[in-house]
C-alpha cells in the first residue's frame, strides 16, 4: 500500500511519541475472526478498543476485525491509507477543569468494506471460514423494525429490496441472513451475531429480525440459524462525541503525523455481555468487558438512566440553545431536573443489581455529562428520536403508569422531543430533524398545530396538540390512548411553551432557598 507522507501508518508507528500507546502484537499474523457491521466512531471507541486490549494481552491471531460501512465510504477512505490504524483519544478534565487526553493507536481493524460498493465482498466475509463473530452497531433505525412493537417491518424499503435482491442486500438484516445462507450452503458452522446497540434485549431483538427475514427466504435456513447461531445480549456504555476538524488538528499536533479519522471518548467504559458464543470469543475482560449469564438488568439500568437522561437533556437543550452536554449540565435547572427525575422516577423502576450504589451511579453519571473535554453536541444525541424514545423513555413511563405513579420529569422529556420536532429553537434558529420518520413526523406536527389552533388557547390547545402527536402508534403504541400520559405530557408542553425551557425547569424544580 502506498504510504502518505505525514500520515499515520504502520511503518511509522514506532516513531510516534513515547506516551502514545500502540499495538504490541504482530498485526501481520491476524485473521478477521470478527466482522463488524457499522464501523462508526462508537464501534471504534468501544468494541475495537476492548478487542485491541485483548490482543495485547495475548488473545491470539484469530480476532482481527473486518469493518463494514453500510452507507458511505468515508471510514474506508480515511483508514485504508493508514493500514487500518487510527487514534483513540480519551478525554477528561483535571481537578481544575482543564482538558487532558490520553492517546493510543488501535491496530485490530484489518480492512474496511463498503457494502453499497461491493455487497458480495461483505457476504463473502460473513461466509468466510475465518469468521466466528458478526457484531453490529447500526443504531436503532438499522434494525428495520417497528419501535413500538419490536417486529420486523416487512414494508421497510430496504427489507423489500433485500428479499428480492439476495446478491445485493442493503440492510444489516439482509446482509446477515443472506451471508448466513452462504455459510450453510458451504457446509460451514454457525456463528455468533452480537448486537452492541442501545436496544432492550438487543440480542433477542436481533435474533427475531434475522429469523423473521430468513423465514421469508427458506424455513430450513431459519431453523439452522435458530438452532446453531448465538445472539448474546449486551449493554455497552461509553460517551463518544463526533470528531471535528479541530479535534483532528489537535491530535495531529500531539502525534506529529496526521490521522484522517481519530475517535474521541471519555475514559469511562462498560461492556456487560452474555457469555453465549457459538464459535468462541476473545477474552475481552482484558479490556474491561464483563461476561454475565443475563444482561437484562444492566441493559435496563443503562437505557433508563444513561440514555434516558441523555435524551431528556438533549431535546430540552437544543430548544434552549445549549449546544453541548457540558454547557447544558452547567445550567442549575438542568442538573436539578435530571437528578430528581433519576432519583424519584427512574430508579424505582430498575431491577435489583446487587452491589450497585444507585446514588453513586447517578452522581457519577452527572459528572460524566459535565466532562468539558468531550464537547458532546446535544443535536447529535437528539437524532433519530422516533427510534430512541420507546426504550429510553417510554418503557420507564409504562412502568410508572403500571404502578399508578406520577412522572412529571419523564413527561417533560417527552414534551421536549415533541417541541424539538418543530425544527427551530426558542430563538428561532433552525435545525434539521434527522430521523428515519422525518417526513411522517413533520406531517404529524403540522396536524398537531392545526388541532391546537382549532382548540383555542392555553391548556386545551396543548391537550389537543399533544393528543395528535402522541397518537403516532409507530412511536407511542398504546400510550397515546392513555389519558394519564397524554395529560401529563400536555401539561409539560404547556409549561415549555409558556415559560421556555429554563423557566419550565425552574418552575418544576425550583432552586433551593
C-alpha cell, 269: 467504559
pLDDT at 381 exceeding the cut of 90: yes
Backbone φ and ψ for 100, nearest 5 degrees, come out as: -145, 160
CA 102, CA 474: separation in Å to the nearest integer?
43
Q: How confident is the model at residue 43 (pLDDT cuts 50, 70, 90)?
A: very high
Mean predicted lDDT score pLDDT of the chain: 96
C-alpha cell, 43: 464501534
User: What's the rounded mean pLDDT across residues 216-224?
Assistant: 97
Backbone φ and ψ for 475, nearest 5 degrees, come out as: -105, -50
Kindly list the strands in the beta sheet with 86-93, ordered across the sheet, starting from the edge strand earlier in the chain: 99-106, 86-93, 263-265
Q: Which residues does 118 contact at the CB level (< 8 Å), separation at least 6?
A: none
Q: What is the model's pLDDT at position 412?
A: 98
More confident residue, 205 or 147: 205
pLDDT at 512 exceeding the cut of 90: no
pLDDT at 261 exceeding the cut of 90: yes
Q: How confident is the model at residue 88 (pLDDT cuts 50, 70, 90)?
A: very high
Q: Which residues does 228 contact at the CB level (< 8 Å), separation at least 6?
A: 189, 190, 278
pLDDT at 268 exceeding the cut of 70: yes
Give, in degrees to the nearest 5, the angle at Cα 420 between 415 and 421.
Answer: 105
C-alpha 54: how far from chain center: 23
Q: What is the model's pLDDT at position 5?
A: 54
For the chain, what are the domain ranges? 10-292, 296-508
> Is the CB of residue 77 less than 8 Å from the CB of residue 111?
no
Backbone φ and ψ for 137, nearest 5 degrees, come out as: -135, 90
> 13: closest CA among 28, 31, 33?
28
> Is the CB of residue 233 less than 8 Å from the CB of residue 299?
yes
pLDDT at 210 exceeding the cut of 80: yes
| CA atoms in the 13 A half-sphere facing the CB of 40 | 16
pTM comes to 0.91
**Residue pointed to by grid coordinates 478498543:** 49
User: What's the rounded mean pLDDT across residues 75-84?
Assistant: 97
Q: Which residues does 460 contact at the CB level (< 8 Å), separation at least 6?
A: none
CA 88, CA 501: separation in Å to the nearest integer?
35
> Is the CB of residue 121 less than 8 Å from the CB of residue 113?
yes
Backbone φ and ψ for 60, nearest 5 degrees, come out as: 100, 170
- Structural domain 10-292, CATH architecture: 3-Layer(aba) Sandwich (3.40)
Task: Return the CATH number of 296-508, one of 1.10.760.10, 3.10.450.50, 1.10.1040.10, 2.70.98.10.
Answer: 1.10.1040.10
pLDDT, tens digit (0-9, with 9 covering 90-100), for 236-246: 999 999 999 99
52-69: burial string, b at 16+ Cβ within 10 Å, e else: bbbbbeebeebbbbbbbb
Q: What is the model's pLDDT at position 421?
A: 98
Alpha-carbon distances, residue 135 vs 39, 110, 196, 379, 452 (angstroms): 10, 15, 7, 27, 45
Question: Alpha helix (H) ranges present in 3-91?
Answer: 41-45, 47-56, 74-79
Q: Percent of the chain at pLDDT above 90?
A: 95
DSSP letter at 117 equals: T
Q: Which residues does 378 contact at the CB level (< 8 Å), separation at least 6?
A: 313, 314, 317, 318, 322, 323, 324, 325, 328
pLDDT, tens digit (0-9, with 9 covering 90-100), for 271-323: 999 999 999 999 999 999 999 999 999 999 999 999 999 999 999 999 999 99
pLDDT at 1 exceeding the cut of 60: no
Q: What is the model's pLDDT at position 3?
A: 41
Question: Alpha helix (H) ranges present in 241-307?
Answer: 245-255, 296-301
One fold for both 10-292 and 296-508?
no
Q: Percent of the chain at pLDDT above 70?
A: 99
Q: How confident is the model at residue 373 (pLDDT cuts 50, 70, 90)?
A: very high
Q: What is the model's pLDDT at position 470?
A: 98
Amino acid at each position: 500500500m502506498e504510504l502518505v507522507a505525514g500520515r499515520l501508518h504502520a511503518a511509522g508507528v514506532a516513531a510516534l511519541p513515547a506516551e502514545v500507546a500502540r499495538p504490541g502484537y504482530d498485526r501481520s499474523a491476524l485473521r478477521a475472526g470478527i466482522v463488524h457491521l457499522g464501523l462508526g466512531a462508537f464501534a471504534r471507541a468501544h468494541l475495537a478498543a476492548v478487542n485491541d486490549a485483548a490482543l495485547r494481552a495475548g488473545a491470539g491471531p484469530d480476532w482481527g476485525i473486518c469493518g463494514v460501512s453500510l452507507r458511505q465510504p468515508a471510514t474506508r477512505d480515511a483508514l485504508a491509507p493508514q493500514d487500518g490504524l487510527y487514534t483513540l483519544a480519551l478525554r477528561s478534565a483535571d481537578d481544575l477543569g482543564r482538558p487532558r487526553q490520553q492517546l493510543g493507536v488501535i491496530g485490530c481493524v484489518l480492512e474496511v468494506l463498503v457494502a453499497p460498493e461491493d455487497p458480495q465482498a461483505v457476504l463473502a466475509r460473513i461466509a468466510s471460514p475465518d469468521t466466528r463473530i458478526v457484531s453490529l452497531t447500526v443504531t436503532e433505525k438499522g434494525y428495520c423494525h417497528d419501535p413500538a412493537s419490536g417486529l420486523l417491518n416487512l414494508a421497510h424499503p430496504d427489507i423489500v429490496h433485500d428479499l428480492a435482491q439476495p446478491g445485493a442486500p442493503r440492510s444489516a438484516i439482509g446482509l446477515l441472513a443472506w451471508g448466513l445462507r452462504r455459510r450453510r450452503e458451504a457446509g460451514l458452522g454457525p456463528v455468533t451475531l452480537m448486537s452492541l446497540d442501545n436496544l432492550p434485549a438487543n440480542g433477542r431483538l436481533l435474533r427475531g429480525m434475522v429469523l423473521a427475514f430468513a423465514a421469508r427466504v427458506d424455513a430450513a435456513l431459519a431453523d439452522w440459524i435458530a438452532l446453531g447461531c448465538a445472539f448474546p445480549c449486551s449493554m455497552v456504555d461509553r460517551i463518544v462525541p463526533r470528531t471535528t476538524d479541530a479535534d483532528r488538528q489537535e491530535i495531529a499536533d500531539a502525534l506529529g503525523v496526521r490521522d484522517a479519522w481519530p475517535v474521541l471518548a471519555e475514559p469511562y467504559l462498560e461492556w456487560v455481555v452474555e457469555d453465549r458464543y457459538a464459535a468462541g470469543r476473545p477474552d475481552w475482560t482484558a479490556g474491561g468487558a464483563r461476561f454475565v449469564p443475563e444482561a437484562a438488568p444492566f441493559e435496563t439500568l443503562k437505557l433508563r438512566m444513561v440514555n434516558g437522561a441523555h435524551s431528556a437533556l438533549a431535546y430540552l437543550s437544543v430548544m434552549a440553545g445549549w449546544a453541548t452536554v457540558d454547557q447544558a449540565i452547567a445550567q442549575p435547572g438542568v442538573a436539578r431536573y435530571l437528578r430528581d427525575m433519576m432519583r424519584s422516577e427512574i430508579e424505582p423502576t430498575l431491577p435489583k443489581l446487587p452491589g450497585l450504589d444507585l446514588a453513586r451511579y447517578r452522581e457519577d453519571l452527572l459528572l460524566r455529562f459535565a466532562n468539558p473535554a468531550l464537547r458532546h453536541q446535544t443535536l447529535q444525541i437528539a437524532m433519530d428520536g422516533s427510534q430512541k424514545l420507546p426504550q429510553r423513555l417510554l418503557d420507564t413511563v409504562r412502568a410508572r403508569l403500571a404502578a399508578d405513579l406520577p412522572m412529571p420529569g419523564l413527561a417533560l422529556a417527552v414534551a421536549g422531543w415533541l417541541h424539538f420536532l418543530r425544527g427551530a429553537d426558542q430563538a428561532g434558529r433552525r435545525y434539521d430533524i434527522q430521523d428515519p420518520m422525518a417526513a411522517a413526523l413533520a406531517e404529524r406536527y403540522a396536524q398537531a398545530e392545526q388541532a391546537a389552533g382549532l382548540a383555542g388557547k392555553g391548556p386545551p390547545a396543548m391537550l389537543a396538540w399533544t393528543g395528535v402527536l402522541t397518537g403516532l402508534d409507530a412511536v407511542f403504541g398504546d400510550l397515546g390512548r392513555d389519558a394519564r400520559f397524554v395529560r401529563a405530557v400536555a401539561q409539560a408542553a404547556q409549561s415549555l411553551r409558556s415559560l421556555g425551557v429554563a423557566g419550565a425547569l425552574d418552575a418544576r424544580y425550583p432552586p433551593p432557598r
